[in-house]
Amino acid sequence: MASTVPLVSLKQITKTYPGNPPLTVLNNVTLDIEVGEDVAVVGPSGSGKTTMLSIMGILDQPSSGEVFIDGLDPTDFPEAAKARLRAESIGFVFQQFFLLPTLSAWENVAEGMLYQGIKRATRRERAFEALEKVGLAPRASHRPGQLSGGEQQRVAIARAIAGGPRLLFADEPTGALDQSSGQLIVDQLQSIASDGTTVVVITHDQGLASRFSRQISLLDGNVVADTKSGEMPSVKGLKTSKKKPREVVEVRDPDFLEPPPIVVDQSEMEPTLDAKDRVRQRIARVRTQKKSSSESMKEPIKEVKL
């Protein structure tokens, strides 16, 4: 990575909506996202995922704390500067696609570059290039109503990447799609990430999240787990070692360490477990792995898809 400064950095971000009583959606969240990372943010509804994405995407402001993008806090930027930053450096993909029904696929993609000041002919050219990337060039002249849900979302992805953003935020991009379409969308997002764009995806789907190299778990406005693939797990101060497979689990909520974790076998996991239970299971699994690895390194630990 060329830059040592995180591309996105949240420092003790709290977001509280006024009311009686006030609703705190994000509570003292701190995290960094490096350039080129592909990150999945998971958590149940109401955990603050979308709010966190909105703050990272400069669509919303935190109640307290600081947001840094490329080392600078855009919170105090004038509205025009924020708008331009969004236009030129950030791409968004939403669950509802938000395609304009009267425009064709390529026109919708070109609309994504409208506020960048790019000339019409260039917008058209780049729109077709973006559609080519997502495999929808043959459907360029079709309107959203003539496309399937998955195709519409791919058009939305093309719209998000056509302007060449360095950051791509996707809020439940597979939420309105069937499983196969969702897999295709994740493939597209990972392909974009492999090209160097930093991708942050919000999803409920643990299976889809596990395909990203980093997973951040949110619960009740707190980051309860931040997991990266390819590193030794660490729990509350344990050192990581690159010699050890496979995950790093950083637990920031002490409530999840008490009472002592219950070890659950993978085969016994209930599909309806809530996120808290999943995190507990993961902690237990990591501890089990640590214990077994200290005794014997003979058997590799199987990856658990939650």
Q: Are 248 and 234 in contact (CB under 8 A)?
A: yes
Pinpoint the alpha helices (H) of 168-299.
179-194, 206-209, 275-295
Tell me, residue by residue from 62 to 91, as one string, x for binding to other proteins by CB under 8 A and - for no binding: -------xxxxxx-xxxxxx-xxxxxxxx-
CA angle (215, 216, 220) in 5-degree steps: 145
> What is the crossing angle of helices 120-133 and 149-162, to 10°?
130
Residues 6-45 that bind other proteins (CB under 8 A): 7, 35
Q: How far apart are CA 250 and CA 247, in angstroms?
A: 10
Tell me, residue by residue from 179 to 218, as one string, x for binding to other proteins by CB under 8 A and - for no binding: ----------------------------------------
CA distances from 197 to 1, 40, 190 (A): 12, 14, 9
Q: Which is nearer to other proteins, 73 or 274 (CB)?
A: 73
Per CB under 8 A, the segment of 53-61, 184-192, 211-219, 220-228 that binds other proteins is 53-61
Q: Which is nearer to other proteins, 100 or 257 (CB)?
A: 100
Residues 161-180 that bind other proteins (CB under 8 A): 163-167
DSSP H or E stretch at residue 128: helix 120-133
Do the bridges between strand 222-229 and strand 247-248 make them parallel or antiparallel, or are there none, so unpaired? antiparallel
Q: How far apart are CA 47 and CA 107, in angstroms?
A: 35
Q: Which is nearer to other proteins, 18 or 259 (CB)?
A: 18
Q: Which is nearer to other proteins, 162 or 251 (CB)?
A: 162
- Which of 50, 104, 203, 222 is in the footprint of other proteins by CB under 8 A? 50
- Which of 12, 64, 102, 266 is in the footprint of other proteins by CB under 8 A? 102
Least distance (Å) between residue 61 CB and other proteins? 9
Phi, psi angle pair for 296, to nearest 5°? -150, 135
Which residues make up the interface to other proteins (CB under 8 A)? 1-3, 7, 35, 50-51, 54, 57, 59-60, 69-74, 76-81, 83-90, 92, 94, 96, 98, 100-103, 111-112, 114-120, 122, 126, 163-167
